[in-house]
């Protein structure tokens, strides 16, 4: 009889060693307790100490405790506190306590969401959350949801479904025949389409050079009157939440007409689609129900842990056919098999923390969360306008604020100084050829005091630049 190896013995002992896992939890809780007070960006020392990870692959098996200790001592200090209250860089949400705790529990379960037979729990939760999302966003009954890594993948899935349906309606099965000699598909979108949309267009083989571009207004919204005549060979891509200004396309005056012309309408709503859940902001999303597919992130506005993207598609057959999966070893469940709605088969159980977030917040909580982000963004804009040397370039319709100084050079230098001060963190961008500071308010934890403290940091940064 073959003996258990020494490595197996070691790891079997570690599996039963509660102290090991409690040590990891204690490190995490210590980090969490300081997350709202610590510098948003790592200190120079913390960044320098990352060199502690520069080593050759160890020649022998090590000690689990020392691995955790190294991560805690030199990894933790070098993290960006995106879960805090003053990170305004990329559109990066914080994390709800209930959702983070659920993720922490689910780590021990290590579930795979591919098939019902692999995880009946994930199958059930995906079924329930799909229903909740359809109701929350006011989408057509029967709309399917796939739970992916983020809106990059959600956009890919939505456009792949569009490609499948448009070609299938013309007698061309892309799953079998591919794109060689396939009928031409038109792609129409605004000039401010997000880079992930362009990536998706490229990945599905339609080519960025083939896009029919439509000009946008001063807020980045597609100009309705300049949208060309559409047809049943067209994918029209719209935007709920411009990544810089936060603006929303005019769905009310675009979508019903585009649908009647036979176009497939895809809405990139990475962070903005959640406006539909706010009674005071849902006017921004009026008309989205006429679309065919919607991409949205939960890890942005809803503040679930990373990664948590969602593709929603009213044409379930097109979505499943575009992301088809076959194999003699696959066991089809009586309930939902999640792999049919995503590109991946190996996919972690992100649905657990998404379910936890929605279960915890409920409709009223989601409404309040989304509304609060808008209120804090409006506060930021109002306060920064009172500071000499700053101006706000956009209408504050959601959670984005675009700030400009007197020149591109001063704007760039001020951004760098803000980041050096580490009170808050904001990034730079360009807006119609001008350098801007982009402020994205995405954290549930951001208080009115955080906004004032951050605005004061902006003022201090500009003063240092001008001194």
CB neighbours of residue 430 within 10 Å: 12
pLDDT at 1: 59
CA-to-CA distance for 230 and 264, rounded, in angstroms?
A: 10
State whether residue 190 is helix, strand or coil: strand
pLDDT in tens, the chain (467 residues): 578 899 999 999 999 999 999 999 999 999 999 999 999 999 999 999 999 999 999 999 999 999 999 999 999 999 999 999 999 999 999 999 999 999 999 999 999 999 999 999 999 999 999 999 999 999 999 999 999 999 999 999 999 999 999 999 999 999 999 999 999 999 999 999 999 999 999 999 999 999 999 999 999 999 999 999 999 999 999 999 999 999 999 999 999 999 999 999 999 999 999 999 999 999 999 999 999 999 999 999 999 999 999 999 999 999 999 998 777 777 888 889 999 999 998 899 999 999 999 999 999 999 999 999 999 999 999 999 999 999 999 999 999 999 999 999 999 999 999 999 999 999 999 999 999 999 999 999 999 999 999 999 999 999 999 99
- The per-residue pLDDT for range 65-96, each reduced to its tens digit, is 999 999 999 999 999 999 999 999 999 999 99
DSSP 109-129: H--B-S-TTT-HHHHHHHHHH
For residue 197, give both structure tokens.
């949309």
Euclidean distance between the first and the last CA atom of the chain, given in angstroms as a whole number: 79
For residue 17, give both structure tokens.
């060693």
State whether residue 221 is helix, strand or coil: coil
DSSP secondary structure letter of residue 208: G
Q: How does strand 309-313 pair with strand 144-148?
A: antiparallel
* 102-358 and 365-466, same CATH topology: no
Q: Which fold has domain 102-358?
A: 3.40.640
CA-to-CA distance for 137 and 276, rounded, in angstroms?
A: 6
pLDDT at 330: 78
Helix (H) / strand (E) containing 188:
strand 186-190
Q: Which CATH class is domain 365-466?
A: alpha beta
DSSP 15-78: HT-HHHHHHHHHHHHHHHHHTTTS-SS--HHHHHGGGGG--PPPSS---HHHHHHHIIIIIGGG
Asked if 91 contacts 274 with a C-beta cutoff of 8 angstroms, the reply is: no
Among candidate residues 159, 145, 88, the one with its CA nearest the CA of residue 358: 145
For residue 365, give both structure tokens.
């909580």
Tell me the Cα Rg of the chain: 24
DSSP 132-183: HHHHHHTPPTT-EEEEESSHHHHHHHHHHHHHHHHHHTTT--HHHH-STTPP
Among candidate residues 343, 305, 340, the one with its CA nearest the CA of residue 130: 340
Residues linked to residue 294 through DSSP beta bridges, in sequence order: 267, 312
Q: List the chain domain ranges.
A: 6-54+61-81, 102-358, 365-466
């Amino acid at each position: 009889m073959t003996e258990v190896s020494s490595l197996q013995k070691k790891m079997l002992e570690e599996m039963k060693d509660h102290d090991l896992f409690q040590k990891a939890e204690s490190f995490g809780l210590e980090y969490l307790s300081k997350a709202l007070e610590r510098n948003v960006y790592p200190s120079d020392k913390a960044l320098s100490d990352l060199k502690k990870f520069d080593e050759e692959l160890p020649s022998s098996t090590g000690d689990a405790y020392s691995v955790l200790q190294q991560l805690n001592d030199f990894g933790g200090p070098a993290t960006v506190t995106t879960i805090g209250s003053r990170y305004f860089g990329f559109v990066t949400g914080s994390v709800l306590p209930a959702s983070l705790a659920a993720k922490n529990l689910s780590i021990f379960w290590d579930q795979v969401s591919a098939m019902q037979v692999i995880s009946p729990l994930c199958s059930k939760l995906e079924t329930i959350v799909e229903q909740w999302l359809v109701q929350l966003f006011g989408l057509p009954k029967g709309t399917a949801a796939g739970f992916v890594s983020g809106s990059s993948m959600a956009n890919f899935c939505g456009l792949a479904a569009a490609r499948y349906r448009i070609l299938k309606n013309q007698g061309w099965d892309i799953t079998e025949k591919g794109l060689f000699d396939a009928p031409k598909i038109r792609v129409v979108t605004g000039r401010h389409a997000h880079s992930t949309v362009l990536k998706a267009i490229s990945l599905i083989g339609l080519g960025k050079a083939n896009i029919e571009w439509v000009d946008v207004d001063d807020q980045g919204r597609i100009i309705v009157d300049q949208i060309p005549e559409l047809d049943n060979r067209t994918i029209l891509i719209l935007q709920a939440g411009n990544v810089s200004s936060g603006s929303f396309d005019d769905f009310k005056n675009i979508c019903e007409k585009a649908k009647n012309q036979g176009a497939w309408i895809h809405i990139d709503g990475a962070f903005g689609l959640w406006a539909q859940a706010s009674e005071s902001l849902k006017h921004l999303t009026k008309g989205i129900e006429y679309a065919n597919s919607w991409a949205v992130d939960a890890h942005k506005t809803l503040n679930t842990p990373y990664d948590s993207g969602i593709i929603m598609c009213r044409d379930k057959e097109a979505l499943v056919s575009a992301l088809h999966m076959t194999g003699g070893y696959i066991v089809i469940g009586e309930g939902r098999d999640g792999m049919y709605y995503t590109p991946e088969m190996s996919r972690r159980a992100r649905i657990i923390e998404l379910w936890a977030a929605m279960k915890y917040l409920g409709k009223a909580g989601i409404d309040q969360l989304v509304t609060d982000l808008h209120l804090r963004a409006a506060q930021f804009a109002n306060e920064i306008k009172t500071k000499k040397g700053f101006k706000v370039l956009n209408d504050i319709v959601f959670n984005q604020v675009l700030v400009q100084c007197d020149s591109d050079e001063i704007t760039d230098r001020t951004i760098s100084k803000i980041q050096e001060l580490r009170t808050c963190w904001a990034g730079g961008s360009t807006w119609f050829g001008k350098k801007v500071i982009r402020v994205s308010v995405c954290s549930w934890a951001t208080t009115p005091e955080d906004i004032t403290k951050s605005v004061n940091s902006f003022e201090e940064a500009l003063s240092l630049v001008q001194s």
